[in-house]
Amino acid sequence: MTRSHAILCAIGTTLALFILPSCEVSDARADETVKQTSSDSKSQQDTKDMTTKSTLPSKRTYSKSGFDITPLSKTEIAELAKKLSPEAFRVTQNSGTEPAFCGNLVDNKKQGEYCCVVCGLPLFSSDSKFNSGTGWPSFFSPVDPAHVSEKVDGAHGMERTEINCARCTSHLGHVFEDGPAPTGLRYCLNSAALVFVEKGTKMPATSEPIKSETAYFAGGCFWGVEHIFQEAPGVITAESGYMQGAKENPTYEQVCGGETGHAESVKVVFDPTVISFRQLAEGFFLMHDPTQVNRQGPDSGSQYRSGIYCSTPEQLAQAKDLVAKLTSEKKFSRPIATQVELAKKFCPAEDYHQDYVDKTGRVCHVGNPWPQVLGAAK
């Protein structure tokens, strides 16, 4: 995210708190913390019986573009740095600067990606490269804001903003506020810190995104469901939206009216090597009451129904099997009302609904099922 975008986002977040559209039940969800309840104490106790205390695996960090950007350890970085040329080592590991007009990528006009020479993380694209006339490769934006970190550089009697690879902390160059539109920024890079992968060429494994999978869950107010899924190790993104309805691209007000057939849902993109679809579904049954029909807590209406909307037939079979297992084990005193069906079109909700709990601190679901779910798998 650029500085200008960050300012606009902050303003937009503030305004959203004052102009938030609502349907009849939204006041209840916005003005109180709604604790997870069931219609009787046995359902509540049954849910508790599904959980045991355990320890979460180490949580990895993912960018929105699907890359694992978990910071590497000093040992891992040192091992990767052994392969570098003396110049690349000087620049990336000792914050060096190559002479102007001497780098091999200054005049490169080919289409492709510029990746970190140390860890392979994609950093910049030819789509944002421009001729700054400075003698160093220049770009007006990274491929993903999360791939580049910044820190103050006070060397040489001046204050500049240094940019580093977010995954391996390697020095890349500096960013200045004298670039072209649309960002007004100039990311000034050392060629020695980059490796160029031409478009059409197979990317090395270290430069590939996670082979992710996607699933969709509806469990009442999507604010809380989204937040709890965001807390799960292995979840790359969780996005609020509307699903399984008839109207194309509905608004929040239309969905609240109950005429579109949509359910408030959350799109979960996850790393299956860290957390499985089955584990996500198990956590889903712990974060809400699946026996309630067309409601969840104080929120009433078909848009608050419980549902698992599957991307593949394999997910569908697993979800049905889990429902059958929970039913046979009598984990709930009433029948599970969760819809289990193949996913239809997911329509993202308005921006003010995204990351709502982080923006406001207001919670409409409580509890963290992931220590229990992931611990049980050990």
pLDDT of 376 reads 64
| 267 three-state secondary structure | strand
165 is known as an active-site residue: no
pLDDT of 377 reads 57
pLDDT of 367 reads 78
188 is known as an active-site residue: yes
pLDDT of 48 reads 42
pLDDT of 57 reads 61
pLDDT of 55 reads 55
Query: Is the model's pTM score more than 0.75?
Result: no
pLDDT of 297 reads 85
Residue 189 CA to residue 315 CA, distance in Å, equals 44
Catalytic one of 119, 221, 347, 364? 221
For the chain, 378 residues long, the average pLDDT of each consecutive 10-residue run is: 36 32 37 38 41 57 94 98 98 97 97 98 98 98 98 90 98 97 98 98 95 96 93 94 92 91 96 96 96 91 95 98 97 96 95 90 81 78
Torsion of Cα atoms, 356 then 362 then 365 then 367, to 10°: 110
| 239 three-state secondary structure | strand
Output 164-167 pairs: Cβ under 8 A, ≥24 positions apart. Answer: 165/116, 165/118, 165/119, 165/121, 165/123, 165/193, 166/69, 166/71, 166/121, 167/68, 167/69, 167/70, 167/71, 167/72, 167/116, 167/119, 167/121
- Domain positions in the chain are 20-61+210-376, 74-207
**CATH top-level class for 74-207?**
mainly beta
- Return the amino acid letter for 329: E
β-sheet with 122-125: strand ranges across: 122-125, 112-116, 194-198
Query: 20-61+210-376 has which fold?
Result: Peptide Methionine Sulfoxide Reductase; Chain A (3.30.1060)
pLDDT of 34 reads 36
Catalytic one of 116, 119, 168, 188? 188
